[in-house]
Amino acid sequence: MTTMTTTTKTATTVLDASGVTMRFGGLTAVRNVDLTVNAGEIVGLIGPNGAGKTTFFNCLTGLYVPTEGKVSYKGTVLPPKPHLVTQAGIARTFQNIRLFANMTVLENVLVGRHTRTKEGLWSALLRLPGFTKAENASRERAMELLEFIGLHTKADHLARNLPYGDQRKLEIARALASDPGLLLLDEPTAGMNPQETRVTEELIFAIRDQGIAVLVIEHDMRFIFNLCDRVAVLVQGEKLVEGTSDVVQSDERVVAAYLGTPFEGAPGAEEVAEVEAAEAEAHAEAEATEAEPTEAEAATDDDTSTTRTEEEDTR
């Protein structure tokens, strides 16, 4: 596999990961990956299942200590400790949602805020006396964030009662509560319907417009290619290609290793529509035939029509 290690470094580089390698025993999940994210950019990270995308995020955020390589944020090498990475200015969401299910929406955001307040995590959770002023400021900021992502009317709801799409949005609000300069999103639209996905796309543009750089993992190619200034493709732990959406979409190696066919609209949508139309036609024809029963059939019509409906229901 030809590995392309070109990165686009500028004076405003926010994230600079160089030579990041992560081995688990005999398995090299991430191999010598270089990636930069510059101020004002939305960068995509794509690749097949098991390509090493989440592992790479874990290396960036200190959850894993990379076997080799280093990660810098705004020119300073980051220690591989999650709380220090958050304090430095990198926030993330998780592929598998990690909210405090039995806390309210607002409390979840307040937890995300604790790295930026003197009173710390426990006073945020327990509301210890003596911290009222700081707590009020935190609440105000948390409510602002909830309004920004459109969950302010649900501030008192328990996180576990939110619809799936709202839980993903709440994760983003919690990440934003730490006032990051870089936001890492691991499959932010997984499980969302197309409308929720479009709303999330707008949300990410709005986050970028607030001066927060974004690095996003997604399998939804329409979403990625609409959103990103640059896209990097990981395959079997290695960066195969990096470039603008146009460059990546038309790269033969990416098509062969991941995309399958050049992206245009929803993949397979035409075929699905054709099959559905044919099925609907066949169904209509069958119904038309059944609507004209013979005299013998008409005599026992009630029973047979019930059976037919049940069969149709289980398809």
Closer Cβ to ligand ATP, 49 or 306, answer by number: 49
Which of ligand ATP, Mg ion, none lies near 89, with the C-beta cut-off 5 to 8 A by kind? none
CA-CA distance, 215 to 42, in Å (whole number)?
6
Q: Read out DSSP for 178-192?
A: T--SEEEEESTTTT-
Q: Does 53 bind ligand ATP (CB under 6 A)?
A: yes
Q: Which does 47 bind (CB under 5 to 8 A by kind): ligand ATP, Mg ion, none?
A: ligand ATP
Return d(Cα 187, Cα 67) in angstroms, integer. 25
CB under 6 A: which stretch of 42-50, 70-78, 289-297, 305-313 binds ligand ATP? 42-50
User: Which of the stretches 49-57, 62-70, 189-197, 200-208 binds Mg ion when contact is defined by CB under 5 A?
Assistant: 49-57
Does 80 bind ligand ATP (CB under 6 A)? Our answer is no
Q: At what angle do helices 105-113 and 132-149 cross, to 10 degrees?
A: 120
Tokens found for residue 181: 């300069």
Q: What are phi and psi of 226, to 5 degrees?
A: -70, -35
Compute how many residues bind Mg ion; rule: CB under 5 A: 3
Among 7, 38, 54, 93, indicate the residue that binds Mg ion (CB under 5 A): 54
Through-space distance between the first and last CA atoms of the chain, rounded to whole angstroms: 45
- Asked if 51 touches ligand ATP (CB under 6 A), the answer is yes
Q: b/e per residue, 41-75, with b = 16+ CB within 10 A?
A: bbbbbbbeeebbbbbbbbbbbbbbebeebebbbbe
To ligand ATP, the closest distance from the beta carbon of 54 in angstroms equals 3
Residue type, 280: A
Number of residues that bind ligand ATP (CB under 6 A): 12
83 contacts 115 by C-beta, under 8 angstroms: yes
**CA 78/CA 88 separation, integer angstroms:** 8
Binding pattern for the stretch 85-104 against Mg ion, x by CB under 5 A and - elsewhere: ----------x---------
Are the C-beta atoms of residues 48 and 257 closer than 8 Å to each other?
yes
Site residues for ligand ATP, 187-216, by CB under 6 A, read none
Binding partner of residue 205 among ligand ATP, Mg ion, none, CB cut-off 5 to 8 Å per kind: none
The residue within the footprint of ligand ATP, chosen from 36, 54, 61, 108 (CB under 6 A), is: 54
Q: Does 95 bind ligand ATP (CB under 6 A)?
A: yes
Q: Report residue 205 as tokens.
A: 């543009």
**Contact with ligand ATP (CB under 6 A): which of 1, 5, 24, 278?**
24
Nearer to ligand ATP among residue 110 and residue 217 (C-beta): 217
Residues in the chain: 315
CB of 66 to ligand ATP, least distance (A): 13
Binding site for ligand ATP (CB under 6 A): 24, 27, 29, 47, 49-55, 95
